[in-house]
C-alpha cells in the first residue's frame, strides 16, 4: 500500500492533484478540504489510501492523517463508498463530521449531497461509539473543537498549563456558559484551574 506521496503538485484542481514524485506522476483524488489546504502550495506531502475494486484502482490523498483516518472509518460503513466518503469530506470539515456523528446529528449529515436519511442514521449508529472512544482515548478533542475552543486551549497551553488541565477547564466553562468569545473563555477557564 502507498502510505503517502511527496513531491511537486504538477496539476491541481478541487477534485484531484497529480503529484510528481521523481518523474512519476501519481493521480490522487482529493476532497475540497484537502484542496483548500494545498491550493497555495507547489509541493508537499499527501497521505494516501489506495482503494481497489474489481474494475479500478483509485488513489485518494489527504492533507493530514486525521482526514485519512476519518475517510477509512466512513468507508467501513455499509452503503458508504469511497466516492461518497470523499463527497462528505468535501461537504464538511472532518471535525464537523466527527462532531455530527458523536452528537447523533443525522440531519446535519443529510445536508451533504449524496447522503440520505438511512445512510446518515447508519453512520451515526455504526460510528458514534467508535469515534467517541477515539475522541477520549487519542485526545482527539482538538479535532472536534470550535475555533474559539482551539484558540483558548492553545492560549492556556502557552501560559504553561498542562493540556489535560486546560481541556478540563474549558469543558467546565462551556458546560455552564454559551456564546463566549475567546477572551471570556480564557478568563473563565483560568478561574476553574
| pLDDT tens for each residue of 101-158 | 988 999 999 998 889 999 999 999 999 988 887 766 454 444 446 778 878 888 888 8
Write out the residue limits of the CATH 2.40.50.140 domain(s) in the chain.
4-62
Contacts (Cβ under 8 Å, ≥6 apart) of 87: 112, 113, 114, 115
Q: Which fold has domain 4-62?
A: OB fold (Dihydrolipoamide Acetyltransferase, E2P) (2.40.50)
Percent of the chain with pLDDT over 90: 55
- Superfamily (CATH H level) for 65-140: 5' to 3' exonuclease, C-terminal subdomain (1.10.150.20)
Q: Dihedral sign for Cα 82, 87, 90, 96, please.
A: negative
Write out the residue limits of the CATH 1.10.8 domain(s) in the chain.
146-191
Three-class secondary structure of residue 63 per DSSP: coil
> Which cell goes with 101?
456523528
Contacts (Cβ under 8 Å, ≥6 apart) of 114: 84, 87, 88
Write out the residue limits of the CATH 1.10.150.20 domain(s) in the chain.
65-140
CATH ID of 146-191, from 3.40.50, 1.10.260, 1.10.940, 1.10.8: 1.10.8
- pLDDT of 59 > 90? The answer is yes
What are residue 132's phi and psi, to 5 degrees? Answer: -65, -40
Instruction: Tell me the Cα Rg of the chain.
Output: 19
Q: What is the pLDDT of residue 156?
A: 87
d(CA 173, CA 146): 14
Categorise residue 179: left if φ over 0, alpha if ψ from -120 to 50, beta otherwise: left
d(CA 38, CA 54): 31
Amino acid at each position: 500500500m502507498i502510505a503517502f506521496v511527496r513531491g511537486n503538485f504538477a496539476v491541481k484542481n478541487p477534485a484531484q492533484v497529480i503529484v510528481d514524485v521523481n518523474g512519476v506522476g501519481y493521480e490522487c483524488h482529493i476532497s475540497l478540504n484537502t484542496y483548500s489546504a494545498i491550493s497555495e502550495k507547489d509541493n508537499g506531502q499527501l497521505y494516501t489510501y489506495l482503494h481497489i475494486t474489481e474494475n479500478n484502482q483509485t488513489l485518494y490523498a489527504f492533507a493530514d492523517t486525521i482526514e485519512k483516518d476519518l475517510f477509512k472509518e466512513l468507508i467501513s460503513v455499509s452503503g458508504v463508498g469511497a466516492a461518497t466518503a470523499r463527497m462528505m469530506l468535501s461537504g464538511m470539515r472532518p471535525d464537523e463530521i466527527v462532531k455530527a456523528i458523536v452528537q447523533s446529528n443525522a440531519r446535519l449529515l443529510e445536508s451533504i449531497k449524496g447522503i440520505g436519511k438511512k445512510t446518515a442514521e447508519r453512520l451515526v449508529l455504526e460510528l458514534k461509539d467508535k469515534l467517541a472512544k477515539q475522541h477520549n482515548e487519542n485526545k482527539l478533542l482538538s479535532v472536534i473543537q470550535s475555533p474559539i475552543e482551539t484558540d483558548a486551549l492553545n492560549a492556556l497551553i502557552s501560559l504553561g498549563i498542562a493540556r489535560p488541565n486546560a481541556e478540563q477547564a474549558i469543558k467546565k466553562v462551556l458546560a455552564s456558559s454559551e456564546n463566549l468569545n475567546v477572551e471570556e473563555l480564557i478568563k473563565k477557564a483560568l478561574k476553574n484551574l
